[in-house]
Amino acid sequence: MLDVTLIGFGAIGRTLFARTGTMEGVRIAHVVVPAAHVDDVRRDVDGAVQIVAGVPADAGLVVECAGHEALTAHVLPALARGVECAVLSVGALSAPGLAEQLADAAAHGRTQVHLLAGAIGGVDAIAAARLAGLERVTYTGRKPPSGWRGTAAEAVVDLDTLAAPAVILEASAREAARLYPKNANVAATVSLAGLGLDATRVRLIADPTVRDNIHEIEVEGTFGRMQVTMCGRPLPDNPKTSALTVLSALRFLHNRAAAVTI
């Protein structure tokens, strides 16, 4: 049995917890939440899992889905202790030096940190193509106005009255992840697989004509050309997050427990 410590119990964490309940060979043993929320979450789960305020000393595998602050508060110390970690909040790596801190902590603990693909596909192909040389990587993210509420987009367009698609940002992946940390994890993931945060171009669009979260990637390099378009439905409990994000973490856990992986 693969015991997993889950950091975060928001929309993603709750869905992961529910879905792993029927996954063979995988069990959520601990859930890490802020100390102020421990008692409330304990009542919610009714003893089904241990709710704690920090990663246990004997943790074997950690999956983070709590947001960017969790990386410095929990993931970095766990890696330094030798605990293997998987990260969904990849956009956090836009912060200067954080990617290097994660790498250093993992090296010190002689373990690994896995940056999960989340809401996008084709990351394996981009990372493979990088080995021969990439020339251009662009990412376009298109979501309905509800997917941009509570973000910097509210200062750019009127989301309530928007009648036509509107570009809310054109910038590097680093800037996109900094300004839209809860929406631009895909941009950060694509960039880290390919040309890096500063060389990857990003365009974010609020589009009242769509219902799904649409991701478009264009890549050119020595290998040839690649275009990927994905229309991902959002989590019912969080329109800023694609449902595929949860499935990406479930695939990672499945591959850790399964005899055959792909």
pLDDT tens-digit profile of 154-173?
Answer: 999 999 999 999 999 999 99
Angle at 8 between CA 202 and CA 34, to 5 degrees: 120
**Window from 6-10, 13-17, 81-85, 236-240 with minimum mean pLDDT:** 236-240
**How many angstroms from the chain centroid is the CA of residue 208?**
24
Looking at every residue in the chain, the average pLDDT score rounds to 92
pLDDT tens-digit profile of 119-154?
Answer: 889 999 999 999 999 999 999 999 999 889 999 999
pLDDT at position 227 over 90: yes
The verdict on 30 and 107 lying in the same domain is: yes
Number of domains present in the structure of the chain: 2
Domain that holds residue 192: 123-241
Q: Which long-range contacts (CB under 8 A, 24 or more apart) does 41-45 make?
A: 41/9, 45/17
Q: Count of CB atoms within 10 A of residue 156's CB?
A: 15
CB 44 within 8 A of CB 18: no
The verdict on 107 and 152 lying in the same domain is: no
The verdict on 147 and 194 lying in the same domain is: yes
Q: Which residues pair with 226 in a beta bridge?
A: 219
CATH of residue 33's domain is 3.40.50.720
Which segments of the chain are extended strands (E)? 2-7, 26-32, 50-52, 61-64, 84-87, 113-115, 134-143, 166-172, 201-206, 213-221, 224-232, 234-235, 238-242
pLDDT tens-digit profile of 51-70?
Answer: 999 999 999 999 999 988 99
Element (H, E) at 73: none
Residue 259 domain-assigned (yes or no): no
The verdict on 223 and 134 lying in the same domain is: yes
DSSP 47: T
Residues 229 and 122: their CA atoms lie apart, in Å, by 10
The verdict on 109 and 39 lying in the same domain is: yes
Note the pLDDT of residue 242: 79
pLDDT at position 234 over 80: no
CATH of residue 150's domain is 3.30.360.10
Catalytic residue annotation: 215
pLDDT at position 105 over 90: yes
